[in-house]
Amino acid sequence: MQRKFHLLNSPKYFSISESYGLFGVSERNLNQLANIWKGDIVFYYTAHKVGLRTSGFIHGPFEVTSELFYNDEIVWTKDDLHRGKDKYPHRIKFEYLKEHICLNPIPIEIFWDLKEEGKIKTVIDSSALIDKAVISLLDEEGILLLQALLQENPKSGKYSNEYKGRDFREEKIDLLQFKGDKIKEFKMESYLEAYLLRSPKIIHELAGFKDGVNESYEYNILNQVSTYIAGGAIDIVCLYKKKVLGMWLTINATVFELKKGVIDPFFVEQLARYIEWTARLIPGAKHRMIKGVLIGRDFGEQNESKNLLRHRIKDAGSLYDIKCYTYLVENHKLIFYPLEG
């Protein structure tokens, strides 16, 4: 599996993040960081003062040198609710890519120029740069950003500073955090999404690719994909490609809508809209090949809501391929059950 590209977003804290070799998010945004793995390549979007104006720039590339971890030592800003702890304790470590160090950033306009030239069909819009701490990139986007940075820095630079956070303790994060007694549900929706992102095999099983991820296939998982003027974000999109005649061809896209509680039948319509947006946003993704998956808490005795959801999915079946799964916690283990039609 090749390493993937991501864009980190923090207009205020780039210089601190660079000196520590750290990027962090709050508990509520844990899911945004959960899709990054050790060895992935990240870029960093920030703002610089240029004369009287403030303009956006992209720094990088950086290589991720840790898995997702917890550390609350104060780096960026104090947490008002937890004395002596940082507001952003869920973290990754990164450093400049040693293979080619680029010290000169590129203006954000380069990204939009590439889009206008038709070289990329981007999953990023201006609202994502405002609302998202981390943005997953399509491979095409990451490669073009990497190329633009190397063009701005044709000779590799030297970065000799020690990363202050390199030796920070890396505590494992327990993603199975629940509330409730009789029927448990996730403490926050971010934990459910983070758990799935850190368990891609489960994503493949729910998408119907349990046995279909091998040397002949590759996948790319995107999370929190902005839907432009429609507002909101798609929780997870998993793209599957198969190698045929030496070419990687897109054969499936599965869209996930996640709810920590019981699924309201309304979310069938929301998922249908997200399927439509995936067809617009993702190169090679055609409407007829896109699956939709709803995931929520076990219904317990709420049979009326369960039956209404079944009917909504059945009614949408002539236009959309939608499946639904509920999760149940047994002995601190998460089990997914299909909602039978």
Q: How confident is the model at residue 121 (pLDDT cuts 50, 70, 90)?
A: low
pLDDT of residue 80: 84
pLDDT of residue 230: 54
**Range scoring the smallest mean pLDDT among 96-105, 139-148, 159-168:** 139-148
Q: What pLDDT digit, counting tens, does each position of 247-273 carry?
A: 888 889 999 999 999 999 999 999 999
Q: Which CATH architecture has domain 5-152?
A: Roll (3.10)
Q: b/e string for 215-224 if b means 16 or more Cβ within 10 A?
A: eebbbbbbbb
CA atoms within 13 A on the CB side of 242: 6
Q: How confident is the model at residue 210 (pLDDT cuts 50, 70, 90)?
A: confident
To the question of pTM greater than 0.75 for the whole model, the response is yes
Average pLDDT for 183-207: 94
Q: Which CATH architecture has domain 178-338?
A: 3-Layer(aba) Sandwich (3.40)
The per-residue pLDDT of the chain, averaged, comes to 89
Question: Which position has the token pair 């509680």?
Answer: 261
DSSP 78: B
pLDDT of residue 138: 86
pLDDT of residue 82: 83
* Contact status, residue 218 vs residue 153, Cβ threshold 8 Å: no
The larger pLDDT score, comparing residue 266 to residue 226, is at 266
pLDDT of residue 231: 63
pLDDT of residue 333: 86
Q: How confident is the model at residue 119 (pLDDT cuts 50, 70, 90)?
A: low
**Domain residue spans in the chain?**
5-152, 178-338
**Is 126 a residue whose pLDDT tops 60?**
no
